[in-house]
């Protein structure tokens, strides 16, 4: 793996990122476990395999695994309307922007379904400037939470989001958004537990993921990685990490973890839902998660640079065309990434998992991840 060592270390020594840690497990043996650079440049704290990172949207795959356990128990069907579990979704509307800049709020033709949440085809937006629905959501959040963090509990907040307009008719497009957070609220409704309690009981504890959760206890804060604005002189971000349970537990982006913990989770997925005799999911359930679920119409809007050559499964990217992706990898490779540059993959053809954690603002995945993948795959015998 000297090629990968050189590539990843160059990210640090060239000043492009502050630091990273990565772990590759192939054929049940760790063949790469390296760290380079700093978790905190100012204090000269190095990154190690025990460094705790905010993993942002890599949280989504953990939430998907959690709710698919409930799917296996027969507690919901993928085509169920979300309103059966969250009444806030009982009367969905759509925000349509006119040429003169005005916005019409009109009833949606159909319900938002559980399947649409999994596949990011629900139309539920993130708050932001991208479209009329995103802007409405952003304004509402700013009114309710002027100081920043959402101060409502997970289920209450997701019911509120369900009353806000969608970006398009459910099922018509692919749009990365708040969908997996909604699934986190459904976990709470079906299990009677908070999302954090459910994931700890049913995923983290069984897998021995002792450093993963929605907050970092005070006695572990010194192990957290600082986020750095990599295009602004490696300026440290000033956000503070929660030291106790937050009101809103974001199943779509709120978890913290280490490369060791997340590698155990990835290995469980690679091995069909079981790790070291502990079964969390069935093999056929993993197959369903890691299969492309997009229709040709939906695939037209699945057009990020990082998604060239990929389809989309249940909360994960799925490699369908390595040639189009310009990746020397495998058909069927799957996984996801996070806003701070984090990334992981599962490659059943090579019996391999890779977890890469860093703390970049912006993540700039297309700048780094294709180089990581090229060197990783070139290193395989």
| Last residue in a domain, options 162, 191, 220 | 191
Say if residue 183 is in the same domain as residue 115.
Answer: yes
Same-domain pairing of 135 and 223: no
For residues 205 and 337, membership in a common domain is answered with yes
Q: Does residue 203 share a domain with residue 109?
A: no
Over the chain (381 residues), the average pLDDT of each successive run of 10 is: 95 98 98 98 97 98 98 98 98 94 95 98 97 96 93 97 98 98 98 98 98 98 98 94 96 98 98 97 98 97 94 98 94 98 98 98 96 97 91
Given this model, what pLDDT does residue 309 score? Answer: 96
pLDDT at residue 148, as a whole number:
84
pTM value surpassing 0.95: yes
Q: Do both 154 and 235 map to the same domain?
A: no
Residue 1: the pLDDT is 85
- Shared-domain flag, residues 80 and 122: yes
Of 134, 159, 191, at which residue does a domain stop?
Answer: 191
Same domain, yes or no: 178 and 320: no
Give the model's pLDDT for residue 270. 98
**CATH of residue 221:** 3.40.710.10
Q: Where in the sequence is the domain holding 285, given as residue range(s)?
A: 2-62+193-378
DSSP string, 19-52: EEEEEEEETTEEEEEEEEEEEETTTTEEP-TT-B
Q: Using CA atoms, how far apart are residues 178 and 124, in angstroms rounded to an integer?
A: 6
Say how far apart CA 97 and CA 112 lie, in whole Å: 20
Whether residues 319 and 339 share a domain: the answer is: yes
Residues 310 and 229 in one domain: yes
198 and 334 together in one domain? yes
Number of domains in the chain: 2
Tell which residue, 176, 171, 118, 123, has the closest CA to residue 337. Answer: 176
- Tell me, yes or no, whether 254 and 366 share the same domain: yes
Exposure letters 128-162 (e unless 16+ CB within 10 A, then b): eeebbbbbbbbeebeeeeeeeebeebbbbbbbbbb
175, 191, 207 — which closes off a domain? 191
Interaxial angle between packed helices 179-191 and 59-72, expressed in degrees from 0 to 180 and rounded to the nearest 10: 40
């Amino acid at each position: 793996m000297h090629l990968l060592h050189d590539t990843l270390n160059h990210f640090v020594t060239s000043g492009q990122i502050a630091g990273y840690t990565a772990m590759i497990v192939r054929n049940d043996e760790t063949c790469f476990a390296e760290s380079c650079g700093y978790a905190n440049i100012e204090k000269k704290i190095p990154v190690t395999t025990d460094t705790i990172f905010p993993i942002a949207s890599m949280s989504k795959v953990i939430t998907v695994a959690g709710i698919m356990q409930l799917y296996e128990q027969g507690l919901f069907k993928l085509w169920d309307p979300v309103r059966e579990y969250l009444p806030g979704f009982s009367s969905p509307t759509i925000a349509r922007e006119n040429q003169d800049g005005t916005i019409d709020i009109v009833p949606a033709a159909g319900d938002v379904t559980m399947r649409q949440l999994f596949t990011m085809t629900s139309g539920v937006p993130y708050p932001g400037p991208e479209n009329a629905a995103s802007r409405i959501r952003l304004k509402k959040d700013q009114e309710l939470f002027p100081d920043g963090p959402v101060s409502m509990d997970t289920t209450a907040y997701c019911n509120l989001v369900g009353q806000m307009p969608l970006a398009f008719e459910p099922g018509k497009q692919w749009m990365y958004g708040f969908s997996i957070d909604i699934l986190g609220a459904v976990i709470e409704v079906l299990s009677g537990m908070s999302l954090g309690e459910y994931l700890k009981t049913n995923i983290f504890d069984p897998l021995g993921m002792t450093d993963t959760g929605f907050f970092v206890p005070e006695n572990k804060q010194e192990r957290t990685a600082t986020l750095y604005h990599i295009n602004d002189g490696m300026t440290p971000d000033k956000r503070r990490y929660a030291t106790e349970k937050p009101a809103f537990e974001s199943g779509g982006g709120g978890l913290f973890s280490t490369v060791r913990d997340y590698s155990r989770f990835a290995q469980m997925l690679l091995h069909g839902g079981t790790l070291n005799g502990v079964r969390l999911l069935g093999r056929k359930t993993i197959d369903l998660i890691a299969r492309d679920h997009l229709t040709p119409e939906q695939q037209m809007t699945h057009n990020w640079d990082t998604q060239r050559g990929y389809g989309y499964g249940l909360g994960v990217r799925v490699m369908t065309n390595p040639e189009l992706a310009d990746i020397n990898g495998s058909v069927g490779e799957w996984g996801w990434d996070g806003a701070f540059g984090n990334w992981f993959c599962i490659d059943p053809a090579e019996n391999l998992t890779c977890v890469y954690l860093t703390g970049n603002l912006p993540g700039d995945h297309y700048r780094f991840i294709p180089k990581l993948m090229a060197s990783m795959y070139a290193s395989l015998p």
